């Protein structure tokens, strides 16, 4: 299993740790941000394909911001897919 660490930009979260194996998300941990929402996101995406989740979350905005934790997660997942 690999762990990918990502520093999101433009959101309250400071760090994502994404554990993955064979294109499947195994665990999602966050430092900072909205703990309840991000814990729920982690539970919902565990066991799902990286590509599927990246496509679903891409472009989600937080209020008037041009991005969100979900959008930043999509960016992180895209990085995993391209490495």
Residue 83 pLDDT more than 90? no
The residue ranges of every structural domain in the chain are: 2-82
At 69 the pLDDT is: 96
Specify which residues 30 forms β-bridges with. Answer: 16
Q: What angle do CA 76, 7, 59 make, to 5 degrees?
A: 45
At 23 the pLDDT is: 97
At 1 the pLDDT is: 94
φ, ψ of residue 81 to 5 degrees: the values are: -65, -30
**Architecture (CATH level 2) of domain 2-82:** 2-Layer Sandwich (3.30)
Per residue in 5-63, pLDDT tens? 999 999 999 999 999 999 999 999 999 999 899 999 999 999 999 999 999 999 999 99
pTM over 0.85: yes
- In this structure, the strands spanning 24-32 and 2-6 are unpaired
Cα–Cα distances (Å) from 59 to 19, 21, 29, 55, 66, in that order, read 22, 25, 21, 9, 8
- Quote the crossing angle between the two packed helices 69-82 and 50-57, to the nearest 10°: 140
């Amino acid at each position: 299993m690999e762990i990918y660490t990502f520093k999101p930009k433009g959101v309250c979260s400071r760090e994502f740790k994404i554990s993955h194996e064979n294109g499947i998300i195994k665990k999602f941990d966050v430092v900072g941000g909205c703990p309840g929402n991000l814990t729920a996101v982690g539970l919902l995406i565990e066991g799902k394909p990286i590509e599927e989740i990246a496509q679903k979350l891409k472009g989600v905005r937080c209020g008037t911001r041009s991005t969100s934790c979900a959008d930043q997660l999509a960016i992180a997942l895209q990085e995993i897919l391209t490495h």
